[in-house]
């Protein structure tokens, strides 16, 4: 039987929009008490109009994580969507961008696990984020792919280390969160058109598709060590 989120403390790290927001709103609707956390808690508090607790954390900074853990108190479910993409072909990649990507999406969750595990409920969970680039390598996405691949592997390692706390990851496909706005209006339309006509689901994903998956992995008590691919079947093409 699925666990309920009623009155459980769910902590969501990430920005005030996109996937983090959909997870926050879905968990709140399911009865959870939600804390949102990121580098700018004032902006988060403003975005949510004071309806959730907002906290500061920079997942690339161990002291920030340790202080965050102290302020949080007991946690039932932790979700980290934090990410800093290192897009570009090999010739354009610099070490700092790749390091920042790994630091944010791999070492960040590793250190979050280290500092927060003692206060996560034994029937609770930690949800990380991987991404489709790990399962369908493409030119221009090397830095993203190796980061997401490492997040997938870290998930399985943490599922063993933190047991019985369950640890899973979500691997989104192409989701219209604003993460692709840097391609420009035209570029984004062409990019999305390509994916929606080629993938087996024949559409681009939504933040709600991903939030539904996060709630599923948080509440299924027999699911751990899994990277759930919610990607419209993109790696099959
Ligand atoms: N959107 C997609 O198509 C897609 C595809 C595959 C995987 N994913 C993954 O799904 C997750 C959510 O994606 P999204 O598109 O909704 O959001 P996103 O654009 O990836 O946003 C991630 C947010 O993480 C926060 N962040 C960055 N560095 C941080 C740090 N050091 N400490 C704390 N927070 C930090 C930033 O928020 P602030 O700017 O507010 O600081 C950033 O906006 C990410 O892990 C992403 O890689 C998304």
Distance 125 CA to ligand 1 centre (A): 20
Q: Which of 93, 82, 66 is nearest to 23 (CA)?
A: 82
What is the block-wise mean pLDDT of the chain (237 residues), using blocks of 10 residues?
A: 93 98 98 98 95 97 98 98 96 97 98 98 98 97 98 98 98 95 94 96 98 98 98 97
Per-residue pLDDT tens over the stretch 21-60: 999 999 999 999 999 999 999 999 999 998 899 999 999 9
pLDDT given at position 177: 95
Backbone angles phi, psi at 119, to 5 degrees: -110, 10
Are the C-beta atoms of 27 and 10 separated by less than 8 Å?
yes
| Residue nearest atom 41 of ligand 1, based on CA coordinates | 39
Does ligand 1 lie within 6 Å of residue 68's CB atom?
no
Per-residue pLDDT tens over the stretch 161-179: 999 999 999 999 999 999 9
Distances in Å between the Cα of 7 and the Cα atoms of 28, 30, 32, 72, 117 are 9, 9, 5, 15, 20
Does ligand 1 lie within 6 Å of residue 214's CB atom?
no
pLDDT given at position 50: 83
Q: Which of 158, 176, 154 is nearest to 167 (CA)?
A: 158
Atom of ligand 1 nearest to the CA of 17: 16
Does ligand 1 lie within 6 Å of residue 103's CB atom?
no
- DSSP string for 36-55: EEES-HHHHHHHTTTSSEEE
Domain edges within the chain: 9-177+207-228
22-32 exposure pattern, b = at least 16 Cβ within 10 A, e = fewer: bbbbbbbebeb
Probe residue for ligand 1, chosen from 12, 13, 15 as the CB with the greatest number of ligand atoms within 8 Å: 15
- DSSP-derived letter for residue 115 is H
> Structure pTM?
0.98
pLDDT given at position 162: 98
Question: What is the distance between the alpha carbons of residues 13 and 66, in angstroms, rounded to a whole number?
Answer: 15
Does ligand 1 lie within 6 Å of residue 19's CB atom?
yes
Distance 1 CA to ligand 1 centre (A): 31
pLDDT given at position 2: 83
Question: The domain at 9-177+207-228 falls in which architecture?
Answer: 3-Layer(aba) Sandwich (3.40)
Probe residue for ligand 1, chosen from 38, 65, 180 as the CB with the greatest number of ligand atoms within 8 Å: 38
């Amino acid at each position: 039987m699925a666990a309920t989120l009623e009155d459980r403390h769910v902590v969501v790290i990430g920005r005030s929009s996109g996937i983090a927001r959909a997870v926050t709103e879905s968990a709140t609707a399911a009865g959870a008490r939600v804390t949102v956390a990121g580098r700018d808690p004032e902006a988060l508090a403003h975005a949510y109009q004071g309806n959730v607790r907002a906290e500061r954390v920079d997942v690339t900074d161990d002291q920030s994580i340790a202080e965050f853990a102290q302020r949080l108190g007991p946690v039932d479910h932790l979700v980290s969507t934090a990410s800093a993409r290192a897009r570009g072909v090999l010739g354009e990649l610099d070490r700092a961008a790749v390091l920042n990507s790994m630091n944010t999406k791999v070492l960040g969750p590793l250190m979050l696990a280290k500092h927060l595990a003692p206060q996560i409920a034994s029937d609770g969970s930690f949800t990380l984020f991987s991404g489709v680039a790990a399962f369908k390598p493409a030119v221009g996405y090397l830095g993203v792919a190796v980061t997401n691949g490492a997040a997938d592997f870290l998930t399985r390692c943490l599922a063993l280390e933190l047991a019985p706390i369950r640890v899973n990851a979500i691997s989104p496909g192409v989701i219209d969160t604003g993460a692709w706005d840097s391609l420009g209006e035209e570029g984004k339309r062409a990019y999305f058109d390509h994916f929606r006509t080629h993938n087996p689901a024949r559409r681009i994903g939504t933040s709600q598709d991903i939030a539904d998956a996060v709630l599923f992995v948080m509440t299924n008590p027999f699911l751990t060590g899994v990277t759930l691919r919610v990607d419209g079947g993109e790696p099959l093409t």
